Chains A and B, each alone.
Chain A
Amino acid sequence: MAKKWPKDSFTIGAGAGFAGDRIEPAVQMAQSGEVDAIALECLAERTLVNAIRLREANPDAGYDPRLKRRFRPLLPHVARGCRVITNLGAANPGAAARATSRLARELGLSKLRIAAVTGDDVRDRVDEVEWTQSIEEGQWIGAHVYLGLEPMIAALDEGADVVITGRVADSSLVAAAPVQALALEGDAVAAALTVGHLLECSGQITGGNLTEPGISDLSPEELAGIGYPIADIAPDGAATIRLLDGQSGRLNVAGCTLQLLYEVHDPRAYITPDAVLDFTGVSFEETGPNQVRLSGTRGLARPDRLKVIGFLARRGLIADIEIAYAGTGALARARLAADILRLRLPRELGISDFVIDLVGVDSVLGAGSLPLRCEPPELRVHLSARCEDAEMAQAVEDEIYALTISGPAGGGSVRSERRGRVESITGFLPRDRVSARIEWAHEP
């Protein structure tokens, strides 16, 4: 059983919101001495697919390759009492914990207790999963269930300084340390999970991805050094989200509202493994500069089934290629190039599943793009095609290159990429078909 928390609130920070997120915000939090634990959310759907493939090639790989870069500056602060909870373990939390333990020894911090949470990998149960769509064609690359608070709390109860997971719900990842330390219950857990949901995208609640007039007017200097959010949580679930003193950013009611509803479907029932959250009674109040108080979260009973994300590899690949035109008449030449491709791809390659558009005109929002008001000084013709195999992708790429010689004048600056056709499929498993476990990289 955990010791009683000695303070009247718990301060949790969100030091990263995706795998490639900045390193220094978490270090600043740790250095401040104000933060009791830091959550590093570093696992998106795509990151997990890459990790699964790394593990297939090497049983000791499959965790985030940035693990050392993130932990090296943090572990000395962990030794002084700032715990870290992170999903950097990706497809191999056990190996990630062992790698972190080796790093700790290297830094002279061999006393750190590092736990891995495993059991999210349910690849062996794909046939038991109730998928939300019929699976006709394709090959399973992997399937992972979203674990909740329990195994992370168990690891912290047993004295973990660092908890490394694979797939867990992001809100639970952030909520785990305060829920454990304060032994929260009921709606206070719901509040901590809501804080978790608000913090999980790091800079997106402190002024990032927020460019509307009247809400955010941060300078390049301020955005370049934007602080990531921390939250003070009280035993009754009262929570204040804030920045560290002196950090730049914009933490206000509008930004909190956008993040509260971000990637939420029914706001009356946001489903996490630990509770179904009702956001309709939530209110925010600005209680100081870059400081917002959250209240009114309600939690309903946790769901009987846990969400599963499955990755299905479809046959073939996507070839994504661009060629640029610049100078007088660039638009007309680009349109001519597009017309040539529309003729040649079906006729010469027998391809019909493709998209052609103009980067700088309509490659992002397609038919929903704003009208073109003047001729751009340069633009790129973009072509993406679904191809049967690498040979076909090569043929499609060659069609673009051929335009440099046999197409409109001055085509060049060609770039291309290929993507596997991996689809993410959602499903559900009964809770009793999932068992999370804790592995210690270093015996407590």
Chain B
Amino acid sequence: MRIGDIASGRAGDKGDVLDLTLVAYNADDYQVLERLVTAEQAAKALHRVVPGEVVRYELPALRALKFVAPTALPGGVHASLRAGLHWQKAAIWLLLDFEIEDPQR
């Protein structure tokens, strides 16, 4: 399944830092999300496009995961060679469209 099948998301940026939020649709989905979308898995999704470390924070009370990639946007979004400005708004789809498999389902 896609991560986006069980979670909503939003991407943000500050300077070089890309941040991605996932919010599970329900408590069961959060369990799956927390178990399967590790920092390593997120890095695998992101490394097709942006470089560097990925840190994960868990917020079970909010059914949310926070991923922070401190060196993903070198020089900030205005220094990017992508078409136009602010491509990073779409970066959440790198996670939402990422396929995960749940061995427990």
Interface readout for A352-375 with B: 1 if CB under 8 Å, 0 if not?
011101010001111110100000
Whether A318 and B81, one on each chain, are in contact in the complex, defined by CB atoms closer than 8 angstroms, is yes
Q: List residues of chain B with CB within 8 A of the CB of A363.
A: 82-83
Task: A419 to B57: give the CA distance in the assembly, Å.
Answer: 35
Q: List residues of chain B with CB within 8 A of the CB of A357.
A: 83
Q: Which residue of A lies closest to B25 (CB)?
A: A214
Whether A368 and B25, one on each chain, are in contact in the complex, defined by CB atoms closer than 8 angstroms, is no
CB < 8 Å neighbour of A258 from B8, B76, B84 = B8
CB < 8 Å neighbour of A368 from B12, B83, B84, B94 = B94
CB contacts between A and B, total, < 8 Å: 127
Interface readout for B70-95 with A: 1 if CB under 8 Å, 0 if not?
00000110110111110101110110
| B interface: dominant SS | mixed
Whether A262 and B83, one on each chain, are in contact in the complex, defined by CB atoms closer than 8 angstroms, is no
Whether B90 and A424, one on each chain, are in contact in the complex, defined by CB atoms closer than 8 angstroms, is no
Interface readout for A377-388 with B: 1 if CB under 8 Å, 0 if not?
000001011100
| A interface: dominant SS | mixed
Shortest CB-to-CB span from B12 to chain A, Å, is 4
Whether A425 and B81, one on each chain, are in contact in the complex, defined by CB atoms closer than 8 angstroms, is no
Q: List residues of chain A with CB within 8 A of the CB of B81.
A: 318, 353-355, 384-386
Whether B64 and A257, one on each chain, are in contact in the complex, defined by CB atoms closer than 8 angstroms, is yes
Is the CB of A426 closer than 8 A to any CB of chain B? yes
CB < 8 Å neighbour of A423 from B10, B13, B78, B94 = B78
Shortest CB-to-CB span from A396 to chain B, Å, is 12
Shortest CB-to-CB span from B26 to chain A, Å, is 9
Whether B59 and A280, one on each chain, are in contact in the complex, defined by CB atoms closer than 8 angstroms, is yes
Starting from the known contacts A355-B82, A423-B76, 11 additional A-B residue pairs (CB-CB under 8 Å) come to A45-B78, A209-B10, A212-B8, A254-B25, A258-B10, A261-B10, A268-B57, A282-B61, A357-B83, A368-B46, A384-B82
Residues of A within 8 A of B (CB): 45-46, 209-210, 212, 214-215, 254, 257-268, 279-284, 314, 318, 320, 322, 353-355, 357, 359, 363-368, 370, 382, 384-386, 419, 421-426
Query: 19 pairs across A/B with beta carbons < 8 Å?
Result: A45-B76, A257-B23, A258-B10, A261-B10, A265-B66, A267-B66, A282-B62, A284-B62, A314-B79, A318-B79, A359-B83, A364-B83, A365-B90, A365-B91, A365-B93, A368-B94, A384-B82, A384-B83, A424-B78
